[in-house]
């Protein structure tokens, strides 16, 4: 039994030279995904395979057992595993979000960090056809447009979902055939989370009307995705033709116009209110303004519409050999250590102090900043690196530590390859950045 077809795999866009990171919870979906990708690696269809597991700090001993299970599984398959722990209840309280959303945000940030640190090409998620049906209903209830109703895609940026066309029952049958056990998360059967209520209460009712409701919903999402892709292609062409010209933008059909306006925003988690405010500005008087999310401001001049973010406070300060330096949004601390603690979080960096050249400073990122991210070959613009990491423009205010040659440490993300600590490093510095 195979879990996906060749066409599904082709839609994921994974090359034989790629490295894949599996988001491994220990549940049936992620375990089956790991086993199948492990087979592809043995057959030479992918070059590297690793796994990552995040302990959410929610389920006590059950979560500890999950971590032990995935460790044993990866050891048996000889798949490298990276683990970490997050205090999701604390993150939920601090950010005023649900546990479900806080866990998702923590998990995706962790996966992207591991992917970058391990120099892998994509992250494989275990979403399947039943999940797609739930997602469509969730987005429908939120009043989403066609992009939302298209649900999840086989590939979205760095994330791939090879199981998206596979039923849950097929996954369970696959595991039974192989005698492979898995972990069961008891919280999946609680009705606190919205997605759980849809799975446990709504879909069973729909199946009394159509026993194949999940398949029908998944197919509907696929049809909408095709339409949305066509509209987005038209919008990309229109954006090139119209630029910021208000008159040309106003002449576009609304479904295309709203997509063009959406692409102009400096963040991706926009609201319908943001788009409506921008749309209203197209026909407003010269000099009209509108305040958007994150303090962004849109305004009009005689012929165009403009959008900008508030400027971050510029700074530049010398970095001591050891000690701390206070920055506008946090504190940078430097200490000498005997050895590097690797892997480490993005707010920490260990560097070979003997490779520093000239004075060391910490400052704002600047246009044209270029460096070689740890583990990579060849230089890269810092802005391109942050784009690859899907860091919104309004968050690109991290301090950058530089010496006489260039970037040493982009705080919160990575160090330059030339500063790599090796077995021959005699003098090691630990940089730690703590946001206020």
Residues 6+ apart with CB under 8 A from 200: 189, 191
Is 225 inside any structural domain?
A: no
Instruction: Let me know whether 304 and 321 are in one domain.
Output: no
pTM, two decimal places: 0.68
Could you tell me the CATH number of the domain that includes residue 359?
3.50.40.10
The answer to whether residue 195 scores a pLDDT higher than 90 is no
Out of 270, 292, 308, a domain closes at 308
pLDDT at 105: 87
Distance CA 347, CA 363 (A): 16
Residues 6+ apart with CB under 8 A from 241: 248
Q: In terms of C-beta density within 10 A (0-12 exposed, 13-18 middle, 19 or more buried), how is residue 313 classed?
A: exposed
Instruction: Let me know whether 199 and 164 are in one domain.
Output: yes
What is the mean pLDDT of the segment spanning 39-46?
94
Instruction: Let me know whether 62 and 164 are in one domain.
Output: yes
Give residue-wise pLDDT tens across range 292-336.
887 788 988 889 998 876 656 688 999 998 999 998 878 999 999
The answer to whether residue 40 scores a pLDDT higher than 90 is yes
Instruction: Let me know whether 50 and 189 are in one domain.
Output: yes
pLDDT at 2: 67
pLDDT at 394: 61
Instruction: Let me know whether 276 and 367 are in one domain.
Output: no
The answer to whether residue 270 scores a pLDDT higher than 90 is no
Instruction: Let me know whether 360 and 431 are in one domain.
Output: yes
Instruction: Let me know whether 25 and 170 are in one domain.
Output: yes
Is 214 inside any structural domain?
A: no
Instruction: Let me know whether 259 and 327 are in one domain.
Output: no
Instruction: Let me know whether 89 and 180 are in one domain.
Output: yes
Q: pLDDT class for 403, splitting at 50, 70, 90?
A: very high
302 or 42: which leads in pLDDT: 42
What is the mean pLDDT of the segment spanning 399-406?
93
Is 215 inside any structural domain?
A: no
Indicate the pairing of strand 48-55 with strand 19-23: parallel
**159 φ/ψ angles, rounded to the nearest 5 degrees:** -95, 135
The answer to whether residue 412 scores a pLDDT higher than 90 is no
The answer to whether residue 186 scores a pLDDT higher than 90 is no
In the chain the first and final C-alpha atoms are separated, in Å, by: 52
The answer to whether residue 345 scores a pLDDT higher than 90 is no
Is 86 inside any structural domain?
A: yes
The answer to whether residue 5 scores a pLDDT higher than 80 is no
270 or 197: which leads in pLDDT: 197
Give the domain range for residue 249. Answer: 243-308
**Residue 50: how many other CB atoms lie within 10 Å:** 18
Instruction: Let me know whether 367 and 285 are in one domain.
Output: no
Q: Which helix (H) or strand (E) holds 408?
A: strand 407-410
If one counts the domains in the chain, the total is 3
Q: In terms of C-beta density within 10 A (0-12 exposed, 13-18 middle, 19 or more buried), how is residue 285 classed?
A: exposed
Is 230 inside any structural domain?
A: no
Instruction: Let me know whether 119 and 257 are in one domain.
Output: no
């Amino acid at each position: 039994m195979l879990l996906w077809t060749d066409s599904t795999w082709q839609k994921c866009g994974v090359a034989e030279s790629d490295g894949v990171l599996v988001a491994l919870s220990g549940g049936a979906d992620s375990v089956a995904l790991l086993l199948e990708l492990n087979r592809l690696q043995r057959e030479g269809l992918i070059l590297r395979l690793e796994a990552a597991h995040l302990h959410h700090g929610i389920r006590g001993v059950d979560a500890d057992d999950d971590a032990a299970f995935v460790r044993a599984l990866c050891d048996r398959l000889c798949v490298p595993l990276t683990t970490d722990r997050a205090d999701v209840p604390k993150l939920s309280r601090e950010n005023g979000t649900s546990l479900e959303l806080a866990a998702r945000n923590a998990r995706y940030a962790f996966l992207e960090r591991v992917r970058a640190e391990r120099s892998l090409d994509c992250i494989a998620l275990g979403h399947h056809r039943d999940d797609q049906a739930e997602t469509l209903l969730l987005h429908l209830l939120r009043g989403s447009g066609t992009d939302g109703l298209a649900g999840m895609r086989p590939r979205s940026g760095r994330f791939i979902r090879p199981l998206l066309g596979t039923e849950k029952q097929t996954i369970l049958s696959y595991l039974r055939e192989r005698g492979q056990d898995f972990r069961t998360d008891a919280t999946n059967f609680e009705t606190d989370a919205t997605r759980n209520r849809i799975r446990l209460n709504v879909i069973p009712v729909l199946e009394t009307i159509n026993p194949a409701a999940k398949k029908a919903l998944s197919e509907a999402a696929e049809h909408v995705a095709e339409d949305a892709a066509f509209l987005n292609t038209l919008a990309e062409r229109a954006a090139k033709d119209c630029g910021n010209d208000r008159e040309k933008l106003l002449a576009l059909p609304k479904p295309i116009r709203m997509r063009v306006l959406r692409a102009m925003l400096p963040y991706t988690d926009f609201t319908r209110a943001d788009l409506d405010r921008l749309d209203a500005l197209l026909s407003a008087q010269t000099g009209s303004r509108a305040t958007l999310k994150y303090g962004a401001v849109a305004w009009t001049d005689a012929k165009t519409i403009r959008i900008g973010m508030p400027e971050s406070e510029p700074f530049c300060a010398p970095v001591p050999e050891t000690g701390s330096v206070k920055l506008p949004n946090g504190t940078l601390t430097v200490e000498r250590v005997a050895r590097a603690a690797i892997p480490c979080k993005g707010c920490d960096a260990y560097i070979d102090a003997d490779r520093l050249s000239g004075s060391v400073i910490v400052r704002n990122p600047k246009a044209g900043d270029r460096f070689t991210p740890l583990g990579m070959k060849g230089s890269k613009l810092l802005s391109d690196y942050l784009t690859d990491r899907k860091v919104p423009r309004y968050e690109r205010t991290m301090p950058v530590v530089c010496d006489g040659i260039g970037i040493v440490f982009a705080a919160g993300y990575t160090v330059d390859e030339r500063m790599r600590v090796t077995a021959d490093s005699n003098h090691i510095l630990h940089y730690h950045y703590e946001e206020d």
